[in-house]
Amino acid sequence: MKQIEFNKNIVCFDHYKIEENPSLRDFLESDLLIELIDSFKEKIIVVLGWDGTMLRSIKENYEKNMPFLWINFWHKWFLLNSRDSINPNTDFVERKYPLLEIELETNWETKKAIAVNEIDIRSGNWKMISLDISLTKKQSINIEWDWILISTPAWSTGYNSSLGWPIIPHTLNAFVITPKAPWKPKLQAPVLMRDDEIIEIKNVWRKNMAEIYFDSVEFFKSNEFNLKVQKYKDNIRLLIWKDYLDTWDSKVLSEQGFLEK
């Protein structure tokens, strides 16, 4: 991903997509981009591309606490504004989204990372894993299974939804822990929890490998680890086209089978 600066504003895009998408190049070279940036009183981060560009832009800039304006130049996704609606007179609304903060401890190191969408813990070597999961200081559960997800509201539309758990409204202050193919307890349902809780996870069967991913990127493989997951201290600030909000919110219900009247 390439980043360029316009008067302390940041523009992010995938340079290798320019040849495939001439409209992206034209927008970068247009006066419209400068006019759009100048229409905001606050410095912003403009992201041109698709959901992958969006994820990379957050990983590189989340500590700046600047609002993100994401403009779609590829496939449509929930959090991308349509480029056809973008102009200096467009009315935007700011929404805030949580990030997941990951801290992993082993006998020899401690690693930290940020996840926008979800954290996956998968069985390694095709062998089931046993995890102790503590949701509060007083509540815990042991589950034997192949795979679990910890999803933010933004990504509850992804694997979480495919595994049969309802989509979380984007304004709900919650995370969801979703099992895949649980063996014990066999009927373990997904767990909806407040986003101010801290999740602690330990690998019980140390002979079996567990693989940990964040936002589909491999983070760690280990037989022995303690994993702590919690909400990051700051939210991501998103600028959304005001007229798109109703369409955007209705997608949350339409993904679950509801139809517009």
Percent of the residues in the chain that have a pLDDT greater than 70, as a whole number: 90
For position 103, what pLDDT does the model report? 93
Confidence at residue 108, expressed as pLDDT on a 0 to 100 scale: 80
pLDDT tens digits along 19-68: 778 888 888 888 999 999 999 999 999 999 888 888 899 999 999 999 99
DSSP states along 126-173: T--EEEEEESSSS-EEEEEESEEEEE-GGGTTTHHHHTTPPPPPTT--
Length of the chain, in residues: 261
pLDDT at 67: 96
Strand order of the β-sheet with 174-180 is 191-194, 174-180, 147-151, 118-123, 210-214, 217-222
pLDDT at res. 101: 94
Top-ranked range on mean pLDDT: pick from 43-47, 77-81, 136-140? 43-47
What's the burial of 186, exposed, middle or buried (CB within 10 Å: 0-12/13-18/19+)?
A: exposed
The helix (H) or strand (E) run that includes residue 66 is none
Whether cis (ω within 30° of 0) applies to the bond prior to 185 is yes
Q: What is the pLDDT of residue 78?
A: 62
Which of 107 and 232 is assigned the larger pLDDT? 232
Give tens-digit pLDDT for 205-227: 767 788 899 888 888 888 788 88
pLDDT band for position 253 (cuts 50, 70, 90): low
pLDDT tier for residue 114 given thresholds of 50, 70 and 90: very high
Structure confidence at residue 64 (pLDDT): 93
Query: Which domains are present in the chain?
Result: 2-98+235-254 (3.40.50), 100-231 (2.60.200.30)
Q: Are 31 and 61 in contact (CB under 8 A)?
A: no
Phi, then psi, of 244 in degrees rounded to 5: -90, -15
Q: How far apart are CA 110 and CA 31, in angstroms?
A: 47
